[in-house]
Amino acid sequence: MIEFRGVTFVHQNGVKALDGVSLRVEAGEFVALVGENGAGKTTLVKHVTGLLKPASGSVLVDGVDTKEASTAQLSRKVGVAFQNPDHQLFSETVEEEMSFALRNFGFSPELVRNRVTWGLELFGLEEYRKSSPLVLSGGEKKRLTLACILAWDPQVVILDEPTVGQDSIQKERLAGTIQMLKSAGKTVMVVSHDIEFLWPIQPRVVVMKGGRVVGDGPSADLMQDRDLLGSARVAQPQLVEFYQELHRRPGTPFVHALDAARWAEESLQP
């Protein structure tokens, strides 16, 4: 579905943000990009919508080379919720804000109304329908930007730091939304530093460092590689640390980190 072939990107100031990145993301996959600040995570996902074009190599989205397509064409397939919601909110009402992309894509008025109502209900924003998006709280703005993206039903959903400014309830709801997207067969890419948020959802984890992919695998396995994560300045999930600490002692009841996770889940249930 999405394929990066030896992608290199150099910023105007000469800094090499991506250095020969090759990665293949299948349709319906859930991938988390983790790594230190400046590792190239956001730069990589910006290539998927054609906002950035590779200096060398190529990016294919559904077989289409992003160099050959405009951002408007690609964004019909790929929805990106950027890190700072204040960078996109401008309409008079939440309702108009949500319909902006739908109108750009030429949806019929009836479909626009239906999709707006669906999105507002899904993210608990119905009561703000006629309010200005600028007066919403940080968490509400974040949810609104996500609702705006999902409204046009893109095949690929990219979330850049979706948990920033979200309380624990909202994080749980967000995790639920991601599960829903997975069930609907959407390809989901999440850029995040929030390992505790990612761990329960168990994505495929791609670790980036200095513009390169240094690790790629299922989170259950990759999150146990303390050295790899440490080198990319990524913290291990607390449960994995707990499991590894237990594993060093004799008579540990767990064979795998996921056993510890299941045990913790069952123990914490009322």
Partner 1 sequence: MMWLSGGFIFRKGYSFYHRLDPRAKLLNSALMFVTTLLARSIFEMVLVVAFMVGLSAAATVLKRVARTMAFTALFSGFIFVVNVLFTRDLETSVLYATRFVAIVVSTSIFFITTSPDELEQVMKMFRLPRDVVFAFVTAVRFIPVMMLDTIQIMDAQKSRGLELEKGNLVRRVRNMIPILIPLVVNSVVRSGELAEAMEARAYGAAPKPTSLLEYRARRVDIGVACASVVLFALAAYSFYFVIPVQFP
Residues that bind partner 1 (CB under 8 A): 12, 46, 49, 51, 70-72, 75-76, 78-80, 82, 84, 86-90, 100-101, 104-105, 134, 148-149, 152
Cβ-based nearer residue to partner 1, 21 or 101:
101
Cβ-based nearer residue to partner 1, 44 or 229:
44
Cα R_g (the chain), whole angstroms: 20
- The distance of closest approach from Cβ of residue 99 to partner 1 in the complex, given in angstroms and rounded to an integer, is 11
Residue 215 contacts residue 206 (beta carbons within 8 Å): yes
- The distance of closest approach from Cβ of residue 85 to partner 1 in the complex, given in angstroms and rounded to an integer, is 9
Which residue reads 């950027």 in tokens? 82
In angstroms, the CA 210 to CA 251 distance is 40
Residue 122 carries which side chain, given as an amino acid letter?
Answer: L
- The distance of closest approach from Cβ of residue 148 to partner 1 in the complex, given in angstroms and rounded to an integer, is 7
Query: 6: which DSSP letter?
Result: E
- The distance of closest approach from Cβ of residue 66 to partner 1 in the complex, given in angstroms and rounded to an integer, is 13
Cβ-based nearer residue to partner 1, 159 or 223:
159
Cβ-based nearer residue to partner 1, 159 or 234:
159
Of 202, 199, 200, 263, the C-alpha closest to 234 is: 199
In angstroms, the CA 208 to CA 145 distance is 26
Cβ-based nearer residue to partner 1, 188 or 232:
188
Phi, psi of 161 (to 5 degrees): 50, 60
Residue 6 contacts residue 20 (beta carbons within 8 Å): yes
Cβ-based nearer residue to partner 1, 104 or 238:
104
Phi, psi of 141 (to 5 degrees): -60, -40
Cα distances from 25 to residues 29, 60, 188, 191, in angstroms, run 7, 10, 9, 14
- The distance of closest approach from Cβ of residue 98 to partner 1 in the complex, given in angstroms and rounded to an integer, is 10
- The distance of closest approach from Cβ of residue 103 to partner 1 in the complex, given in angstroms and rounded to an integer, is 8
